Amino acid sequence: MEEFFTKKRVAIIASSGGNLYYLGGKDTAKLLDELLLQIEAAGMVCTSLQFIAAKASMDNIKDDTQAELYSWDEQTKSPAVTVVGTIAEVNKEATLVDKEIAEKINHGEVDALIFMSADPNGANLHTVEAAAKKKLPATGTGGTSMATIAAKGVNVISTSGTTGTTNRTRAVTFITSLSKHLGLSYRPIIGKSATNNQLEQSSTSAYKRINLRGMMLSSLPGFIAMALILAISKIPGLSGLSEVFDLMINALPVILAVVAAKQVAELEEVSIVAGIVAGVLSVKGGIIGGIFAGILAGLLVQYIFRKCVEWRFPATTVNIAAGGIAGLIAGLAVYFLIAPIALWLGGEIRSLIDFLVSTNGVLAGLIAGLLIWPAIIGGVYHAAILPIVLLEMEKTGNSFLGAVDMVGLVMVSAGITLANIISPRDKGEAAVAAPGFAINMGFGTFVEAAYPFMFSNKMIFAGAIISSGLGGLLVGFFDVRGTAYVPSFMAPLLSNNATGFIIAMVGSLVCSFLITFFINKISRKNVKTMEPKKTSNELVG
C-alpha cells in the first residue's frame, strides 16, 4: 500500500467528445483500457476519473441524448459506470464528481491530469480551477477546450487536436509528455503477451513480432478472393472479369504490406496507413516486395512515432509523420532497390516448381504428397510450403502445391474422420470425428482433426502418408493446379483441371477411408479376441 502512494497519481478528465467520438471516443472501455495500460507502463496510477460517454457526437448533442458517467472505483481500482441517463442527468451528476476531484487536488492527492474533450466552463470547472491553483502538469486533446484550460492557468505541458489520432497514439503521447515532465522512465506498451498476460515493451518486441507465417496466414483471404475471381471469369459471359483478376494480382503486395506493417508496429490505423503507402509503391516487387515493404514500414512507424513524441510534436502531427513518412521511406526503398530482386526471386521459385512438374509431374506430385504430412506435423508447412503456394498463386490464381495440400491433407483427413464415423474403434471416436469431417469438407481446412486417430495408431498414420502420396501422384499425372482453404465442392472450380482435381481428391479420400476402415475393423476384432471368456460358473453366478 505504501508503494501505491509513492507513485505519481493521475486524474483522467474527459468526454466522448465531438471529433473524438469518431476516433475511439464512442468505445469508452477500449479508450480507457489503452490509457490505463500506458499509465501503468510509466509506473503511475490512476486515482481519479470523470468520463462523460454520450451515445452520439457532442457536436450533435441534444438534452435527451442517452449517456453514461464513468468514475473511479476505489475498491476495484478500475473505471465503473455510476450513472446512466440523458446527457442532462449525467452532466448534473458529473458536476458532483468534478467537485470531488477538485477536493483531491486541493489535498495534494493528484499529481498530474489528462484532459480529453473536457468542458472547463461546465462539468470540469472546479477541477480546472483547482489544477490551476496547484500548477499541476496537464496534457490532453481538444483544441478549443485545451486552449481554455491553459488560459485558466493550468500548467499545460503538451496539447494537440484530435484529428488523425487513435486511442493508442493519444495514450502514448499523453504519458510520454507526463513521464518526461515528472522524470519517470517510460517505454510505450504495444500489446499484451498472449501467453502470460505480461506487458511487452515496444523497444524489444518490434523485431520479435516479425512472423512470416502469421503474415501469410492473415493475407490468405486475399489470395482466395483472387482465385474466386479467376473461377468466375471462366463462366461464359463473365470473361470481362479477367481484368479484375489482373487488378487483384496487383493488390496482393498491398495486402501483405498492410498485414506486415500492422503486425510489426501494432499502432492501429497509423501502421495500416503506412502499410498501404508502402504496399502501393512495392507492387512491382510482387508479394516478396510487399512483405519486405510492410516489415520495414512497421519498424519505421514505431521509430518515427517514438521520436516525434519525444520531440513533443502534437499528436495529430505524430500520426501523420509516422504513418506517411514511414510508408514512403519503406515503399520507395522497395520501389528503387528491392523490387527487381524480389521479383526475380519470386520468378525463380515459380520457375523451379514449373520445371520439376514439367520434367516429371507424377514423381514431383508423389514426393510432395509423401512429404506434406511430415511437413505440417513438423511445423515446416507454414514456414516453407505455404509461402511457395502463395508465390504460385500470385501469377496464376492457383498452385501445384495448393492442389497437393487439398488432396494430401484435407481429403486424407476427411477420409480418416469419415471412416471413424462409419466404423469407429469405439463409439466415442465417432463423436470426435464428425465435426472434423464436416469442417474439412465444408471449409477445406482443419486437417488436425485426423491427428487423434493417426497418433494413436501407426498403421493409420502410415495410411495417411500413402493416401497423400497417391493424391499427389494423381495431381502430377493430371497436371492440376488448385488451392485448399475453400469448400471441397468448390475447389475443382478454382483449378485449371476440374476433372483431374476431382479424381485426385476422390482417390486420396477413398484410399485413406479404406485403410482406416479396415484397420479399425481389425483393431475391434483383436480387442474382442483378447477379452477373457466367462466360465459356466461365472455365467450362472
CA distances from 50 to 17, 46, 98, 161, 486 (A): 13, 11, 7, 20, 50
Q: Which of 324, 343, 362 is the last residue of a domain?
A: 343
Please report the pLDDT score of residue 538 as a whole number. 47
| Distance separating alpha carbons of residues 85 and 518, to the nearest angstrom | 68
Asked if 189 and 260 sit in the same domain, the reply is no
| Distance separating alpha carbons of residues 154 and 160, to the nearest angstrom | 15
Asked if 300 and 171 sit in the same domain, the reply is no
Please report the pLDDT score of residue 190 as a whole number. 60
Asked if 11 and 157 sit in the same domain, the reply is yes
Our count of domains for the chain comes to 3
Distance of CA 420 to the CA centre of its chain: 35
Residues in the chain where the model's pLDDT stays below 70: 1-5, 164, 190-206, 383, 527-541
Residue 324 carries which DSSP code?
I
Give me 288's grid cell.
Answer: 516478396
Asked if 191 and 217 sit in the same domain, the reply is no
Asked if 44 and 107 sit in the same domain, the reply is yes
> Is 534 part of a structural domain of the chain?
no
> Is 35 part of a structural domain of the chain?
yes
> Is 541 part of a structural domain of the chain?
no
Residue 47 carries which DSSP code?
E
Asked if 403 and 447 sit in the same domain, the reply is yes
Asked if 190 and 328 sit in the same domain, the reply is no
CATH code assigned at 47: 3.40.50.10090
Please report the pLDDT score of residue 507 as a whole number. 95
Please report the pLDDT score of residue 501 as a whole number. 95
| Distance separating alpha carbons of residues 442 and 426, to the nearest angstrom | 25
Q: Which of 205, 233, 252 is the last residue of a domain?
A: 205
Asked if 185 and 217 sit in the same domain, the reply is no
Asked if 231 and 321 sit in the same domain, the reply is yes
> Is 463 part of a structural domain of the chain?
yes
Asked if 180 and 71 sit in the same domain, the reply is yes
Please report the pLDDT score of residue 59 as a whole number. 80
CA quadruple 148, 129, 186, 172: dihedral sign: negative
> Is 514 part of a structural domain of the chain?
yes
> Is 42 part of a structural domain of the chain?
yes
Question: Which residues face 14 on adjacent strands?
Answer: 51, 116
Cβ-in-10-Å burial (0-12, 13-18, 19+) of 142 comes to buried
Q: Which of 205, 223, 242 is the last residue of a domain?
A: 205
What H or E segment, with its residue span, contains residue 111? Answer: none
> Is 370 part of a structural domain of the chain?
no
174 within 8 A of 36, measured Cβ to Cβ? no
101 within 8 A of 11, measured Cβ to Cβ? yes
| Distance separating alpha carbons of residues 380 and 10, to the nearest angstrom | 49
40 within 8 A of 192, measured Cβ to Cβ? no
Q: Which domain holds residue 66?
A: 2-205
Phi/psi class of residue 77: alpha, beta or left (left: φ > 0; alpha: ψ in -120 to 50)?
left
| Distance separating alpha carbons of residues 125 and 473, to the nearest angstrom | 78
pTM metric for this prediction: 0.67
Residue type, 379: G
Asked if 325 and 463 sit in the same domain, the reply is no
What H or E segment, with its residue span, contains residue 449? Answer: none
SS3 track for 369-420: HHHHHHHHHCCCHHHHHHHHHHHHHHHHCCEHHHHHHHHHHHHHHHHHHHHH
Asked if 127 and 226 sit in the same domain, the reply is no
> Is 14 part of a structural domain of the chain?
yes
| Distance separating alpha carbons of residues 285 and 275, to the nearest angstrom | 15
